[in-house]
Amino acid sequence: MPASLPGRYPEVYAAASRDPEAFWLDAAKALDWSTAPSRAFDADQGPYGRWFPDGELNACHNAVDRHAEGARADQAAIRYDSPVTGTKRTITYGELRDEVATLAAVLADLGVARGDRVLLYMPMVPEALFGMLACARLGAVHSVVFGGFAANELAVRLDDARPKVVLAASCGIEPNRTVAYKPLLDAAIGTASHKPEACLILQRPHCAAQLTEGRDRDWAEAVAAARAEGRRAECVPVAATDPLYVLYTSGTTGKPKGVVRDTGGYLAALAWSMPNLYGVAPGETYFCASDIGWVVGHSYIVYAPLVHGCTTVLYEGKPVGTPDAGALWRVVSETGAVCLFTAPTALRAIKKEDPRGERVGDHDLSAFRSLFLAGERADPDSVAWAERVLDRPVIDHWWQTETGWPIAGNPLGLGLLPVKHGSTCVPMPGYRVEILDEGGKPVPPDTMGTIAIRLPLPPGCLPTLWGSDERMRSSYLATFPGYYDTSDAGVIDADGYITVLGRTDDIINVAGHRLSTGGMEAVLAGHPDVAECAVIGIRDSLKGEVPCGFVVLKAQVARDPAEIERELVAKVRDEIGPVAAFKLALTVPRLPKTRSGKILRATMKRIADHEPWTMPATIDDASVLDEIGASLEQRGIGEA
């Protein structure tokens, strides 16, 4: 790492590399421990080691109780702002502790104890945070499933996590419709082989759910009864290495990966990131406009701001349409947020509706200091636009569900480094990032390759996959021995700046949501009229990428292809969910293949994106690519 960079970053990064034990034991002092760790890392546990192997603590105590018992009792912990329901609510740390301790007592009555899993299928309402924190209080492991996933995806997660209890709401509210969750939950439990013992259902006034007798309980009634009896559950100290949550993310096969997050390492890394990366102090307001269904929401809506004693903003709305492109600026202004964290897609959506940034001027943003972006590649145009209209640092930072906190970013709290548009700046402490060639050898600066992280991963990153050390090894550690394979391609320049160029696997990023094209292909292939198919991500000016499916019908099929295409779009929506944004299904006579039968997806993508392409030497029949180009053109698909 070049020492020539300004600010404290070079010295801090070097300290973490030189003596990780001392660095992370020091970072861990930001937490309350029931048993303080005597050492930071044990290389002999787990697939590559475990952090704080002899420490004990409780995540809920660190996020809630220690503030509620101290000077922050009356400080707002959560500012809930829901333009889709016209509701605002402020919850102090004292009130949060009461809500969480009471709900934890309800969960304990349902048999939930340390190590048990609890699945949450909830929209962005305060009760979702109460649920996550109540699990943490009991030492139980939460697994939140994003509301835009369909019943089938929920069923897969039920079977893998095997939760004792499910926490769900009757519905989520999208600007164009109310999404009834309960029928999806019932369908998922119907098909899953694992059946939870109980479901606690939060009835929202917009859509009442029919409760299933014997299994479902009314959330409000259960909490009211526990409160009337004055019952509260206390925080259960757990090992720092105990799982705090399992969060499923798209893998390269249809089966999602259950990313395990430990307790101590995670909270230590988050606590370090708040002042040093985001430049935020305790008592300030932090606004992450993501969703609790994603890792960004777990880390920067829930745990990091609360552990750091900040006020967190819980926003149930969209960047545009609820009601307009000034929505995020309104919330920043009303909550006094010093930092906003969102996805580049949100910025593109705002820019499209308010190209001159006039809405920014409608609000008092005097407290606001910085905008952070992540989840997908931030296009330099949008970053430059945001810098211009906001007149504040706009920081692109890179991370993955697996890492739990940023791998690279511009550490505002240590002194802002020069911004290079298109780059996600420098690695955070503990991340020894290298670019490797196909043989696993480091390449010189400015040379593209796979981005890999030298083991061990820093605290906060996944120690393993749920129930499978072996899948952890084969998915991430086997390709390049001694490294974690990020499956992202990129370059590092002579200043140590990292640029992330795209995935090396079949994952695509649609509106900041991570999706597997392989998973979509499996759904299309399940249609009785489909002989074979290929799904690629094609460039989209709003969502970054959108999926496009090419299908070859079975020879004997005599039905109208347009009708089959409509069925395929509906099938992906039904089986994966609306979040897949799968709206383009094209029947084509043939798929382009190599002589050995491999589908030429990368070439198809270049054609769809109107990028220069060369004829692959191994192609079986070159005329198939013309057919693909013609069918895209005929439908007006693809952006130059």
- Report the nearest approach of ligand AMP to the CB of residue 400 (Å): 4
Give the span between the Cα atoms of 19 and 26, in whole angstroms: 11
400 part of the interface to ligand AMP, by CB under 6 A: yes
Among ligand COA, ligand AMP, none, partner that 400 touches (CB below 5 to 8 angstroms by kind): ligand AMP
From residue 525 to residue 544, the character string flagging contacts with ligand COA as x (rule: CB under 6 A) and all else as - is ------------------x-
Give the other-Cβ count within 10 Å of 564's Cβ.
Answer: 19
Binding-site member from 335, 382, 401, 464 for ligand AMP (CB under 6 A): 401
Note whether 364 and 335 are within 8 A (CB): no
Among ligand COA, ligand AMP, none, partner that 500 touches (CB below 5 to 8 angstroms by kind): ligand AMP
Note whether 607 and 625 are within 8 A (CB): yes
- Report the nearest approach of ligand COA to the CB of residue 375 (Å): 3
Question: Interaction with ligand COA in 455-514: which residues (CB under 6 A)?
Answer: 510-513
561 part of the interface to ligand COA, by CB under 6 A: no
Among ligand COA, ligand AMP, none, partner that 57 touches (CB below 5 to 8 angstroms by kind): none
CA distances from 350 to 124, 319, 323 (A): 21, 7, 12
Note whether 553 and 516 are within 8 A (CB): no
Q: What is the DSSP letter of 300?
A: I
Give the span between the Cα atoms of 146 and 153, in whole angstroms: 10
377 part of the interface to ligand AMP, by CB under 6 A: yes
Render 22-44 in DSSP notation, one character per residue.
HHHHHHGGGS--SB--S-SEETT
> What is the distance of C-alpha 450 from the center of its chain?
21
For ligand COA, the closer CB: 238 or 349: 349
- What b/e readout covers 490-525, taking b as 16+ CB neighbours within 10 angstroms? bbbeebbbbbbeebbebbbbbbbbbbbbbbbbbbbe
Among ligand COA, ligand AMP, none, partner that 290 touches (CB below 5 to 8 angstroms by kind): ligand COA
Binding-site member from 5, 101, 295, 628 for ligand AMP (CB under 6 A): 295
Give the span between the Cα atoms of 243 and 245, in whole angstroms: 6
Binding-site member from 488, 540, 545, 575 for ligand AMP (CB under 6 A): 488
Note whether 248 and 160 are within 8 A (CB): yes
> What is the distance of C-alpha 156 from the center of its chain?
18
- Report the nearest approach of ligand AMP to the CB of residue 461 (Å): 12
Give the span between the Cα atoms of 321 and 325, in whole angstroms: 7
- Report the nearest approach of ligand COA to the CB of residue 295 (Å): 8
- Report the nearest approach of ligand COA to the CB of residue 288 (Å): 8
Among ligand COA, ligand AMP, none, partner that 343 touches (CB below 5 to 8 angstroms by kind): ligand COA
Count of CA atoms in the C-beta half-sphere (13 A) of 614: 3
174 part of the interface to ligand COA, by CB under 6 A: yes
Binding-site member from 145, 280, 374, 390 for ligand AMP (CB under 6 A): 374
Binding-site member from 202, 500, 576, 632 for ligand AMP (CB under 6 A): 500
- Report the nearest approach of ligand AMP to the CB of residue 401 (Å): 3
For ligand AMP, the closer CB: 68 or 374: 374
Q: Report which of 573, 568, 622 is spatially closest to residue 594, judged by C-alpha positions.
A: 622
For 407, list phi and psi in degrees, rounded to 5.
-80, -40
Among ligand COA, ligand AMP, none, partner that 578 touches (CB below 5 to 8 angstroms by kind): ligand COA
Among ligand AMP, ligand COA, none, partner that 95 touches (CB below 5 to 8 angstroms by kind): none
333 part of the interface to ligand AMP, by CB under 6 A: no
Binding-site member from 134, 461, 581, 632 for ligand COA (CB under 6 A): 581
Note whether 547 and 508 are within 8 A (CB): yes
300 part of the interface to ligand AMP, by CB under 6 A: no
From residue 314 to residue 343, the character string flagging contacts with ligand COA as x (rule: CB under 6 A) and all else as - is ----xxx---------------------xx
* Contact region with ligand AMP (CB under 6 A), list: 24-32, 51-59, 396-404, 474-482: 396-404
Note whether 605 and 538 are within 8 A (CB): yes
Give the other-Cβ count within 10 Å of 636's Cβ.
Answer: 6
Determine the 3-state secondary structure of 260 from DSSP.
Answer: strand
* Tokens read off for 183: 């029928």
Residues in the interface with ligand AMP (CB under 6 A) total 19
Give the span between the Cα atoms of 70 and 293, in whole angstroms: 30
579 part of the interface to ligand COA, by CB under 6 A: yes
Among ligand AMP, ligand COA, none, partner that 514 touches (CB below 5 to 8 angstroms by kind): ligand AMP
- Report the nearest approach of ligand COA to the CB of residue 293 (Å): 7
Note whether 285 and 318 are within 8 A (CB): no
- Report the nearest approach of ligand COA to the CB of residue 403 (Å): 13
Among ligand COA, ligand AMP, none, partner that 424 touches (CB below 5 to 8 angstroms by kind): ligand AMP
Please give the sequence-ordered ranges of beta strands (E in DSSP) within 186-298, or none if there are none. Answer: 198-202, 216-218, 238-239, 243-249, 257-262, 285-288
Question: Interaction with ligand AMP in 405-424: which residues (CB under 6 A)?
Answer: 424
Among ligand COA, ligand AMP, none, partner that 222 touches (CB below 5 to 8 angstroms by kind): none
Among ligand AMP, ligand COA, none, partner that 509 touches (CB below 5 to 8 angstroms by kind): ligand AMP
Cis peptide before 175 (omega within 30 of 0): no
Q: Report which of 30, 4, 27, 6 is spatially closest to residue 16, judged by C-alpha positions.
A: 27
For ligand AMP, the closer CB: 102 or 370: 370
Q: Work out the angle between the directed axes of helices 561-575 and 151-161 (0-180°, nearest 10).
A: 40
Note whether 114 and 239 are within 8 A (CB): no
- Report the nearest approach of ligand COA to the CB of residue 176 (Å): 6
157 part of the interface to ligand AMP, by CB under 6 A: no
Q: Which residues bind ligand COA (CB under 6 A)?
A: 147-148, 172, 174, 179, 290-291, 294, 296, 318-320, 342-343, 345-346, 349, 374-375, 510-513, 543, 578-579, 581
Q: Which residues bind ligand AMP (CB under 6 A)?
A: 249, 295, 374-378, 396-401, 424, 488, 500, 503, 509, 514
